[in-house]
Structure 1
Amino acid sequence: MTKSSRPPRRGLRTALALAGAAALTITTATTGLATPDTTEANAGDMAVAQLAPGEISKSKNIKHLANLPIPDVLAGGYGTDLAFQDDLAFIGSYNGFWVVDVSKPSKPKIVSTVLCPGGQADITVDGDLLFLSVDAPRTDDSCSSQASNAADPTAWEGMRIFDISDVRNPRYVAAVQTDCGSHTHTLVPGTGKNKKNVYLYVSSYGPRDTFPNCQPPHDSISIVEVPVKQPHKAKVVAKPDLFAADGGGYTNTSGCHDITAYPEKKIAAGACMGDGIILDIKDPVKPKVVERVRDTENFAFWHSATFSQDADKVVFTDELGGGGAATCLDTIPDTKGANAIYDLSKKNKLSFTSYFKIPRDQGTTENCVAHNGSLVPVKGKDIMVQAWYQGGLSVWDFTKSNQPEEFAYFERGPISEERLILGGAWSTYYYNGHIYSSDITEGLDVLKIDDKRTKPAEKVKMDTLNVQTQPKYKTKGR
């Protein structure tokens, strides 16, 4: 099969209309909780009848604790990625971001919201700083900017930096423009003499001759250096070409979608359109590609990557249809729009093992494909919780890389039975004993899994979690 064509940079998610741009606005509030009607199935029986709009189905080992709707000030802005720090969840939105107190997971409370439109707002946190990606061209870098056009040489895209020392009143402190904007970014801690800095690996894609700030070929990432004590001095310090032809025989790509770093192992895994790569990041300013794989038969769009606990496996995801298509149908093979599990040798060589896709067919009006997830930290096991848009969320085990298996799930019925409306779980992560899921239209879901396979993870506590900066978990035994 010929690999499907790559979506343009201004694809479905970034092309969808944003709510009207406005000046930086911060609010504090609390919001009531809602729990829709629910049907349950045994964890081992994943065959689910077609659900009605608003109806919930889940395995018996999952409990839906709470739902917190998207705040009114961010209305019209889809919910996107998540980061965590000190029992706070930071949630990206096409219209900015919001902060939620999850110290009592069953009773999450909104702490603040920031109205600052600019695309999907990939988000990370580090101490007193919050980083926000902007991948939609704006008239300038301010929160009051208007939507612009990538063909305009004065259009701005890149990274925004906020001071969150007072989470009730985040302050916008710096902006850094990057080539082709910032679709996603990955936080990489500094080392040695640069230990006081953090680095942002900015991934972007879709160059065109008509885009002055995004010219082809675009085989590079932008590396932004941020002095944590002087974030206003943040700047681009490198633009490494990850696919240089010399030495490796690599051919041009059009950019990377996402990179996951494993700082303790000094490696990173990148999903770069048509390629899965492993990077040596011993020097964070000079990452080097040491391995590269392709799957032209089944992968349409390499989207993201997750290491196993011991970095002896990598899960790459394929976002077939760009997240806006119904690809979890019985007419589409389980090898497409799925995860691909690769074994990773000590010499950083990748070897394909198997595919995993949720075993629950969805309807033709439900956008569904593999998306963002994280490890569930259990010693000796490789378990992942993952978002599948309107396919809901899945908890699955890939300890045996050739025998992946789902053993828990949660999903809603379609937004509409008549037409496909973009929705569902964008990012689903495990943090301090609970599952948190950012739903595109429904806000923040909080869930609890009660299963012997994940029980040890409840004892693992993290202060900060940026999933694409993968930690070495201090896992517990049974």
Structure 2
Amino acid sequence: MTSLHTTRVRRRRLGVAAAAAAGLFATLLAAGPAVATPDPGDKPAKEETSKSQQAEARKAIENNDIPGVDEIIHSDNMSHVANVPKEHLKGTNSDIAFQGKYAFSGNYDGFRIFDISKPSKPKTVAQVLCPGGQNDISVSGDLLFLSTDASRSDNSCSSVSQPATEKSSWEGMKIFDISDKRNPEYVAAIETACGSHTHTLVPERKNIYVYVSSYSPNTAFPDCQPPHDGISIIKVPRKAPEQSKIVDFPILFPDGGNPGAPTNPGVSATTGCHDITVLPSKDVAAGACMGDGILFDIKDPEKPRVIDRVQDNVNFAFWHSATFNQRANKIVFTDELGGGGAATCNEEIGPKRGADGIYDILGKGDKRTLEFKSYFKIDRPQADAEVCVAHNGSLIPVKGKDIMVQAWYQGGISVWDFTDSSKPKEIGYFERGPVTLDQVTTAGPWSAYYYNGYIYSNDIAKGLDVIKLDDRRTDEAKKVKMDELNVQTQPDYFEDF
């Protein structure tokens, strides 16, 4: 375990504007879709910072405007109770899933299973080496699902990188049997067009449907041909996962979606979806699809139907993920400006880019529409060496309130309230200072999720963090006990709600 400590830091709100920030802003605007390659790859961002940027950051640390290198700070209502560093899997940490007393941590090199029966002392149960970024992870019953969105020589866990231009290359979904948590067994693989960047489970009694999100087709890729305007749907029999197969590839964007640049400069062209969140109890899903945000009906999980679609060609560069509120009358969409490889939490970028967009859902049935209400972005300044942008989060189950916890890479973890869609506000935070001042480095929390009374964060560089939130506004959530949680498959926390 690493040492845990707290330092109170006097913070100016969005007050650290580094010398090169204006130049970065211009680059992000002009570069268009190319700059919005989402999520760090096998080689995360490590661009050297200038001497003036380093001097600016050191001055900000001296003035207590930002925490020092690796220094931990947090609001009074949050406390750091545990950290488990990386061990055998040294790649980028990615998503997290939960089941009973276990947490399942994705990593570009495979996945790790923790026993979290004592949140203050997580214990490693198993580490599975199975390279193939980004290893987005979910669990349902005895099955674990792992996304491979990196071109590999074959579907085995001993595969090596191989160009996507070769027909024999493989990308897609892997399925493991986790009935024995100490010895997961690899049981099935399904190749999908353009791989599987992320996936979302729609569980039923006998079957599990998997919505596979992937994008960026290329005429040079035999298994990833344009156009690629939909998602792969896999049907997985619970008792015979080896019989899993693709049952459909519904087209979500018959018109091709957002064209991106030059029509919409600085916006990613839509060539598929990045992430989908489903709320099965309400038969709805929300898709964050590069240049578009969509709301669709999943009453028939094999035949999803788009109900409404929105774009933000002024402030959103890459629609990355989505979260419903419990009533399913709001969606929070995130914009991954800079593709998870740029420092965007500063004064020059401002509060509306690399942020969350809050949308109300109006109307009923097929007449439902999305109406933009406001943006939310952390207003705690970050150094220009810190990759920072809106990323993965989850609801905190408080009846009658809309509160969520969210990861912001090196911006840390934010707990914020969007009960009033037009006036979101942060109510708690936890963060570390820069991992270095010499390079723009991808680090910090990839995912931050609330599960059975604690916040669990998969830090890209530092490992698993466990955070305790003590606040009268969220104390009610401690009464909600979950048996399983895949955040992109949102549960109905209150059945009578």
TM-score norm. by structure 1 comes to: 0.89
2:8 aligns with none
Separation (CA, whole Å) in 1 of partners of 2:378 and 2:495: 26
1:265 aligns with 282
1:296 aligns with 313
1:402 aligns with 422
Structure 1 residues 250 and 327 mapped into 2: Cα distance closer, same or farther (>3 Å)? closer
Tell whether 2:384 aligns with 1:359. Answer: no
Greater helix proportion: 2
Structure 2 letter corresponding to 1:50: I
- How big is the shift at 1:318? 0.1
2:32 aligns with 5
1:176 aligns with 190
2:264 aligns with none
Structure 2 letter corresponding to 1:254: T
Separation (CA, whole Å) in 2 of partners of 1:7 and 1:461: 42
Structure 1 residues 10 and 299 mapped into 2: Cα distance closer, same or farther (>3 Å)? closer
Query: Residue 89 of structure 2 is aligned with which of 74, 95, 107?
Result: 74
1:14 aligns with 41
1:229 aligns with 239
Separation (CA, whole Å) in 1 of partners of 2:372 and 2:320: 17
Superposed, which structure 2 residues align to 1:349-428 within 5 Å?
Answer: 349-428=369-448
Structure 2 letter corresponding to 1:97: F
The superposition leaves residues 285-342 of structure 1 with CA deviations (integer Å, 9 ceiling, x where unpaired) of: 0001110000000000000000011011000000000011000011112000000000
1:51 aligns with 67
Tell whether 2:495 aligns with 1:462. Answer: no
Moved over 4 A (4+): 1-4, 8-12, 249-252
Separation (CA, whole Å) in 2 of partners of 1:404 and 1:353: 10
The superposition leaves residues 166-198 of structure 1 with CA deviations (integer Å, 9 ceiling, x where unpaired) of: 0000000000000000000000123xxxx4110
Structure 1 letter corresponding to 2:254: A
Structure 1 residues 283 and 415 mapped into 2: Cα distance closer, same or farther (>3 Å)? same
Structure 1 letter corresponding to 2:226: P
Structure 1 residues 475 and 327 mapped into 2: Cα distance closer, same or farther (>3 Å)? farther
Structure 1 residues 358 and 476 mapped into 2: Cα distance closer, same or farther (>3 Å)? farther
Separation (CA, whole Å) in 2 of partners of 1:181 and 1:7: 19
The superposition leaves residues 214-254 of structure 1 with CA deviations (integer Å, 9 ceiling, x where unpaired) of: 111110100011000000001111000101139xx987831
Corresponding pairs, count: 440
The superposition leaves residues 369-397 of structure 1 with CA deviations (integer Å, 9 ceiling, x where unpaired) of: 00000000001000000000000000000
Query: Residue 103 of structure 2 is aligned with which of 76, 82, 89?
Result: 89
Query: Residue 348 of structure 2 is aligned with which of 331, 338, 342?
Result: 331
The superposition leaves residues 80-112 of structure 1 with CA deviations (integer Å, 9 ceiling, x where unpaired) of: 100000110000000000000111101111111
1:167 aligns with 181
- 1:9, 1:205 within 8 Å by CA — same for their partners in 2? no
- 2:258, 2:292 within 8 Å by CA — same for their partners in 1? no
User: Structure 2: 5+ residue runs without aligned partners?
Assistant: 1-25, 45-62, 260-268
Separation (CA, whole Å) in 1 of partners of 2:449 and 2:362: 26
1:60 aligns with 76
1:44 aligns with none
Structure 1 residues 388 and 48 mapped into 2: Cα distance closer, same or farther (>3 Å)? farther
Tell whether 2:138 aligns with 1:124. Answer: yes
- 1:244, 1:250 within 8 Å by CA — same for their partners in 2? no
Over the matched positions of the two proteins, sequence identity in percent amounts to 60
Structure 1 residues 324 and 425 mapped into 2: Cα distance closer, same or farther (>3 Å)? same
- How big is the shift at 1:70? 1.3
- 2:37, 2:339 within 8 Å by CA — same for their partners in 1? no
1:23 aligns with none
Structure 1 residues 385 and 9 mapped into 2: Cα distance closer, same or farther (>3 Å)? closer
The superposition leaves residues 7-59 of structure 1 with CA deviations (integer Å, 9 ceiling, x where unpaired) of: 48976623428xxxxxxxxxxxxxxxxxxxxxxxxxxxxx9622211101100
- 2:229, 2:253 within 8 Å by CA — same for their partners in 1? yes
Tell whether 2:185 aligns with 1:185. Answer: no
- 1:386, 1:428 within 8 Å by CA — same for their partners in 2? yes
Separation (CA, whole Å) in 2 of partners of 1:48 and 1:410: 16
- 1:134, 1:159 within 8 Å by CA — same for their partners in 2? yes
1:306 aligns with 323
Separation (CA, whole Å) in 2 of partners of 1:133 and 1:344: 30
2:450 aligns with 430
Separation (CA, whole Å) in 1 of partners of 2:416 and 2:379: 11
Query: Residue 340 of structure 1 is aligned with which of 327, 335, 357?
Result: 357
- How big is the shift at 1:60? 0.8
Structure 2 letter corresponding to 1:151: T
Structure 2 letter corresponding to 1:209: T
Q: Secondary structure at the match of 2:281?
A: helix
Separation (CA, whole Å) in 2 of partners of 1:153 and 1:16: 24
Tell whether 2:175 aligns with 1:155. Answer: no
The superposition leaves residues 117-172 of structure 1 with CA deviations (integer Å, 9 ceiling, x where unpaired) of: 00011000000000000000000000010111111111000000000000000000
Aligned alpha-carbon RMSD (Å): 1.9
Separation (CA, whole Å) in 1 of partners of 2:343 and 2:297: 36
1:145 aligns with 159
- 1:3, 1:299 within 8 Å by CA — same for their partners in 2? no
1:22 aligns with none
Structure 1 residues 260 and 13 mapped into 2: Cα distance closer, same or farther (>3 Å)? same
Separation (CA, whole Å) in 1 of partners of 2:390 and 2:287: 16
